Amino acid sequence: MAAKKKLIRVKKFRTDKGDGYGFSKAQFAWMCPPIDGVRTQITPFVYCRERVTGYVHAAMNNLDYNEFDSDREPFDRETLRILIAKDPQNFEQFRTKLFNGKAIMNIYEDIAGWERSKITTVKHEVRNNVWLLTGPKEWLMAPQLVSAFTFILRLTAEYGPFDVDGGLDSVEDEFERLCKKWRGRDGHYDVTGYLEKFKDKLYVLVKYHKELFGKDGAKKLWPRNESSGNVGVRGGFLYLSPEYNVDGSFCYGRWKRKFAKLCKQHLPRKKK
């Protein structure tokens, strides 16, 4: 009989007591690289994707933000390391959705020419049902990419699983089907707002990431003169969409204009 694989152990965030655990939706928390074999959660678990992105901005600029202490919590800039937690009523169903979200990320990673992300179950110090997603550092290149991958995981956790057998063609067909189902109805803004405006543009965001972001670097893409909260919101991928109007003080206006040109040049995408 094969030996049972030992789970990776993760130390809790310093203020996390596990009180009131029972997340109804998937939550995210950043994890540091292994230090002397110890892996530690470095931010609280949060549902809000804007806060998830804000933590990266703080880490890139050695700033403190919403309990994150840049002096105490080392952030890995070379590998995507993010924890996902949920207390699902149906564990196997959620696990299927989560791995389906990872499969969709893999499709976009293949398009971008990146390494593939992986998910593994971990043993968290105070919480049950926690997974670790590790992936290529390119997802950390810009706030819009952090916003995109967390959106894919959250969307799939809520509305998945989606057909991925036909690659991107299947995924985009599934996205369109979901938009048609909820179009014109209240609520479900992840679908009627985000996905409706960006379902075809995720392809452009990853496929042409070098043309969009490649020469700019972290100092420009994660600007220190902007607050982490502002970058978390205005650095969201939706703000790049040509159909999404923002005011003239938009801190990513230059990339929005570049992205509009790329979309005009490469959409609609030819399906196989």
Instruction: Quote the pLDDT of residue 223.
Output: 96
Above 80 in pLDDT, residue 144?
yes
pLDDT digits (tens, 9 = 90+) for 16-68: 876 555 567 889 999 999 999 899 999 999 999 999 999 999 999 999 999 99
**Residue type present at position 215:** K
- pLDDT, tens only, 169-191: 999 999 999 999 999 888 899 99
- First and final C-alpha spacing in the chain: 45
Rounded distance between C-alpha atoms, residue 192 and residue 159, angstroms? 13
pLDDT of residue 4: 61
**Mean pLDDT, all residues of the chain:** 92
State yes or no: pLDDT of 106 exceeds 60: yes
What would the pLDDT profile of 228-252 be if each residue is shown by its tens digit? 999 999 999 999 998 888 765 578 9
Distance CA 239, CA 254 (A): 12
* 130/133 Cα distance (integer angstroms): 10
Q: What is the pLDDT of residues 201-235, one digit of tens each?
A: 999 999 999 999 988 889 999 999 999 999 999 99
Q: Residue 91 pLDDT more than 90? A: no
**Distance in angstroms (rounded) separating the CA atoms of residues 108 and 269:** 14
Interatomic CA distance for residues 253 and 17, integer angstroms? 41
**What one-letter code names the amino acid at 26?**
A
**pLDDT tens-place string over residues 120-138:** 999 999 988 999 999 999 9
**Would you give the distance in Å from CA 183 to the centre of its chain?**
24
Position 196 scores a pLDDT of 96
Residue-level pLDDT at 241: 93
Instruction: Lay out the sheet containing 8-11: strands in order across.
Output: 27-30, 79-85, 130-136, 118-124, 8-11, 39-40
Q: What percent of the chain has pLDDT over 90?
A: 79
Predicted confidence (pLDDT) at residue 258 exceeds the cutoff of 70: yes
**Is pLDDT larger for residue 193 or for residue 6?**
193
Per-residue pLDDT averaged across 100-116, rounded?
98
* pTM beyond 0.85, yes or no: yes
